[in-house]
Amino acid sequence: MKYVAPPASGMGTVIRCIPVLVLAAILSGCAAAATLPAASSLLPASTGNAAFYGSTIVRLDQGNFQTLKTNLMGHSKGFALLGLITLFPAKFTTALDGVYAQSEMKTGHSQTLVNLVTERSSTYWILFSIPKVSIRADLVEFKSATGATNQNSSGVPPDPP
């Protein structure tokens, strides 16, 4: 008589698949878990996802301004372990500080940043990710009706050249 092995039970199949699943999880990384709806509700909110809105409206469709500098850039990078545990967040304030440092705005002048664009991105590796915040803007100075640039209404004289 010939020996026939009994069919594999459901539990035995599951136990044999566990090492394969563990190996697949280690090799693929956990960065994609943040995009899953079930996992995203369990994770703490990241400071890098903060949105900010200004209420100042600047009309640039008239010839009452002069563009002083374009493409002012500011960046901030962070570090997240496994793509989930943020150790060093990418901060909007650090990126915006870089934009202001490049703009060299002058006290007493009617200058402002316009065309402000923010971009968040992340580079995911197996064991970590590097979130990045980039901010780009243009610097303009407004002119008075006579064509000269405006001074601040506070009466502060402009910086000497």
Does residue 22 lie within any of the structural domains? yes
* Residue 81, in any domain of the structure: yes
Q: Is residue 75 part of a domain?
A: yes
The pLDDT of residue 135 is 93
Rounded Cα–Cα distance for residues 127 and 9 (Å): 35
pLDDT at position 109: 84
| pLDDT value at 79 more than 90 | yes
Residue 151 domain-assigned? no
- How many domains does the chain divide into? 1
Is residue 157 assigned to a domain? no
Residue 135 CA to residue 77 CA, distance in Å, equals: 12
pLDDT on residue 77: 94
What local confidence, expressed as pLDDT, does residue 129 receive? 92
List residues bridging with 88 in a β-sheet: 79
Q: Judge whether 68 lies within some domain.
A: yes
